């Protein structure tokens, strides 16, 4: 079985010759973003069926002046490039997961990581909800469909999904879901929601573009 990596929503046929009875496996790129210490590395590690690639380094005294560790004082490491994992959603459909750095000083990596992404997960901690705004703004500005997944930390106050949506001033229809980043089944459900939502968004945009082109012909 051949595997083809598909960027964005371009669902195309394999360019290679397939033997009789074989089908093309679809691989989609999903970003996992959010503030520092919100659970991105945990989520990727929990759902990945391969040993996840991690690029964590110990927090240094030199970084204290620029890194905001408020609310996560016990966290001793930070992702400096990305986390990478893979999960098979169903036969013939796999997701490549790219966890983005949470620290502001690593934002320059985001543009490269986001190339070809179908969609994204924005992990949120209701105790530090403001940490989500940079990721939300980034994906909205670049028209990358995303789902906000509230990581339900022990002891954190629980809010209704619509309350989180209003607090983040999300565009109408942007999904908000509750999850436990440590739990594989919970994380997989979040990823399924991302694929479904991103697929609908990309299809709607494609149809809109076709309609506009037909109208101007």
Give the per-residue pLDDT at 59. Answer: 47
pLDDT of 46 strictly over 90: yes
- Total-model pTM: 0.78
Is 66 a residue whose pLDDT tops 50?
no
Name the residue ranges covered by the structural domains of the chain: 2-8+24-216
Whether the per-residue pLDDT at 44 is higher than 70: the answer is: yes
**pLDDT at residue 95 is higher than 90:** yes
Mean pLDDT of 90-114: 87
Average pLDDT, the chain: 82
Average pLDDT over residues 12-25: 45
- 192-202 pLDDT tens trace: 999 999 999 99
What integer is the mean pLDDT of 7-17?
41
Percent of the chain with pLDDT over 70: 75
Q: Which residue has the higher pLDDT, 120 or 112?
A: 120
Residues 203 and 170: their CA atoms lie apart, in Å, by 21
Q: Looking at residue 13, what is its pLDDT?
A: 35
In SS3 terms, the chain reads as CEEEEECCCCCCCCCCCCCCCCCEEEEEEEEEEECCCCCHHHHHHHHCCCCCECCEEECCHHHHHCCCCCCCCCCCEEECCCEEEEEEEECCEEEEEEECCCCHHHHHHHHHHHCCCCEEEEEECHHHHHHHHHHHHHHHHCCCCEEEEEECCCCCCCCCHHHHHHHCCCCCCCCEEEECCCCHHHHHHHHHHHHHHHHHHHHHHHHHHHHHHHHHC
More confident residue, 116 or 10: 116
CATH ID of 2-8+24-216, from 3.40.1010.20, 3.40.50.300, 1.10.10.10, 3.40.50.10860: 3.40.50.300
**In this predicted model, which residue has the larger pLDDT, 215 or 207?**
207
Range in 43-52, 100-109, 128-137, 163-172 with the lowest mean pLDDT: 100-109
Say what the pLDDT of residue 7 is: 54
Confidence of residue 77 (pLDDT cuts 50, 70, 90): low
């Amino acid at each position: 079985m051949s595997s083809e990596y598909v960027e964005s929503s371009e669902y195309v046929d394999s360019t290679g010759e397939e033997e009789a009875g074989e089908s093309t496996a679809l691989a989609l790129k999903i970003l996992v973003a959010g503030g520092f210490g919100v659970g991105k590395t945990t989520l990727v590690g929990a759902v990945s069926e391969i040993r996840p690639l991690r690029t964590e380094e110990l927090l240094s005294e030199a970084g204290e002046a620029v890194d905001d560790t408020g609310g996560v004082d016990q966290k001793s490491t930070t992702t400096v490039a990305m986390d990478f994992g893979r999960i098979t959603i169903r036969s013939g459909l796999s997701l490549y997961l790219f966890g983005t750095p949470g620290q502001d000083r690593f934002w320059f990596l985001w543009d490269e990581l986001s190339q070809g992404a179908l969609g994204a997960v924005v992990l949120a901690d209701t105790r530090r909800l403001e940490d989500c705004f940079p990721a939300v703004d980034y994906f909205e500005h670049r028209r990358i469909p995303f789902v906000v997944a509230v990581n339900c930390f022990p002891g954190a106050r629980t809010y209704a999904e619509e309350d989180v949506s209003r607090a983040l001033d999300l565009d109408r229809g942007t999904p908000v879901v509750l999850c436990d980043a440590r739990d594989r089944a919970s994380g997989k459900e979040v990823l399924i929601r991302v694929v479904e939502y991103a697929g609908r968004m990309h299809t709607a945009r494609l149809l809109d573009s076709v309609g506009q082109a037909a109208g101007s012909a």
